[in-house]
Amino acid sequence: MDRRKKKLRRRRRNRLTAVLLVLMLFFIWLGARNYMNMEGLGLPGSGDGGRLSACLEDLYSPSAALVDAGTGEKLGAAGGSRRIYPASMTKIMTAVVALEHISSLDETITMPGDFYGQLYEENASMAGFEPGEEVSYRELLYGALLPSGAECCMAFAEKIAGSESGFAEMMNEKARELGMRDTHFTNCTGLHDRKHYSTAEDMARLVVYALKNDTFRQAFTSRSYTMASTAFHPGGFTVTSTLFASLSDPSVTGGEILGGKTGYTQEAGLCLASLAEVNGKEYVLVTAGAPGDHQSEPYHVLDAVKVYGRIGENAE
């Protein structure tokens, strides 16, 4: 009888040990999963800014990265290292490479006509310059960054590198120099190509670098720019920032959105690289993959307003 009782007790102990072992393994797995998913949740130990990281919850955009505009320090990310199609955010790199290879922005060029047919066929965004029109490099810069003019980017590429493919190699070289580890450019406009990709974190790194150039910063934060009179446009013409066209009030809690570059293709979704000042500090936010298109609500802009507003609210 005593032997039977001992066997029963031993079985119970073995069952209890097995249950405890299963529970222990389950909690180890759960902890590991939570650690891997902490990016963008603002949990202790996530290494991306605590409360500021939590500002990236519940966005329309599945990929987002928030950084300190002055230092480039990562403050939060949600899908920040996931590959994206950057669409017209590409033109930020186009502008950077152009600025670093042009001696005088006041020098004028004649707009080539060989690429217009391709751009029209691909329904690319245009600033409004015509083939054969005399344009300054400064006007090309504003035309690329404000209305997202593809013809401005192509003119930069042909004049600086001789071809778009040659210019894309210069863009890739700059990306490597900046430590953009998961970025590859095949063109200067952001038109869709499956081999043309980046990440929100890489693009944020690029924006922080670009903003150190005062000329870039001035264009990036401008709401509009008026082009000089030419034979094609005797009265000149004014281009408007695609960001501010969707943002009637740039103010957010504690500050305002200062500027940015939008992007859209069907494959990329709505994208935005933006700069804001909140409570005396500047932030760069890059979001990508939001639903919608040019006719829908500007979900990428709504995300920026939400994130910057949350930063301001956190400080109150």
User: What does the pLDDT look like over 92-119, one tens digit per residue?
Assistant: 999 999 999 999 999 999 999 999 999 9
Q: Are 126 and 64 in contact (CB under 8 A)?
A: no
* pLDDT score for 34: 42
* pLDDT score for 53: 72
Element spanning 213, H or E:
none
What tens digit of pLDDT does each residue of 57-77 get?
999 999 999 999 999 999 999
CA 291 to chain centre: 15
* pLDDT score for 40: 37
* pLDDT score for 8: 59
What is the share, in percent, of the chain residues with pLDDT greater than 70? 84
Catalytic residues: 88, 91, 148
Chain position carrying tokens 């994208």:
271
* pLDDT score for 29: 54
Based on its alpha-carbon atoms, the radius of gyration of the chain, rounded to whole angstroms, reads 25
Element spanning 271, H or E:
strand 269-278
Which pairs from 238-242 meet CB under 8 Å and 24+ separation? 239/127, 239/128, 239/142, 239/143, 239/146, 239/147, 239/149, 240/146, 240/147, 241/145, 241/146, 241/147, 242/125, 242/146, 242/147, 242/148
* pLDDT score for 121: 96
* pLDDT score for 9: 66
Spans in the chain with pLDDT lower than 70: 1-12, 14, 16-51, 316
Nearest Cα to 60, choosing from 78, 47, 85?
Answer: 78
Q: Are 160 and 97 in contact (CB under 8 A)?
A: yes
Where b means 16+ CB within 10 Å and e means fewer, 64-95 reads: bbbbbbeebebbbbbbbebbbbbbbbbbbbbb
Nearest Cα to 283, choosing from 256, 261, 262?
Answer: 256
CA 217 to chain centre: 16
Angle between helices 164-177 and 90-99 (to 10 degrees): 90
Q: How far apart are CA 145 and CA 141, in angstroms?
A: 6
Angle between helices 150-161 and 164-177 (to 10 degrees): 90
